[in-house]
A = this chain, B = another copy of it.
Amino acid sequence: MEYRKVTAIIRCGKLEKVESRLQQIGVQGISVTRVKGYGEYTDFYARDWMTSYARIEIFTAAEKVDDIVAAIMDAAHVGLSGDGIVAVLPVERLYRIRTRSDATTEQI
């Protein structure tokens, strides 16, 4: 089975909506960190150009990536700069600690 990592950097104010949407589509594990960041068109000369964002990280089966990306883009969208990004990264191996198993080599 193939896996991917989805990382989203979104507005903190949209975090609850995104989490609830991800639960609705059956995402089974997410982790969330607060990050400081700046994005497009920021006024670099302003004192407070660093804003707080939420960083969501999801390890998922490759075939669920499109649904997850669509759910995040829909729930996090405002239409203004600073809306953030969603990135998909390759994952070579994924292990579940509970079962001590390699999910990447499991038969479906």
Cα of A72 to Cα of B88 in the assembled complex, Å: 24
Q: How large is the interface on A (under 10, 10 to 19, 20 to 34, 35 or more residues)?
A: 35 or more
Give the contacting residue for A89; candidates B39, B82, B90; CB below 8 A.
B90
Q: How far is the CB of A108 from chain B (nearest CB, A)?
A: 17
Instruction: Count the copies.
Output: 3
Could you tell me which residues of chain A, from 4 to 32, have a CB within 8 Å of some CB in chain B? 4-5, 7-10, 23, 28-32
Cα of A39 to Cα of B60 in the assembled complex, Å: 12
Q: How far is the CB of A60 from chain B (nearest CB, A)?
A: 11
Residues of A participating in the B interface, judged by any CB pair closer than 8 Å:
3-5, 7-10, 23, 28-40, 44, 50, 53, 55, 57, 59, 69, 72-73, 76-98, 100
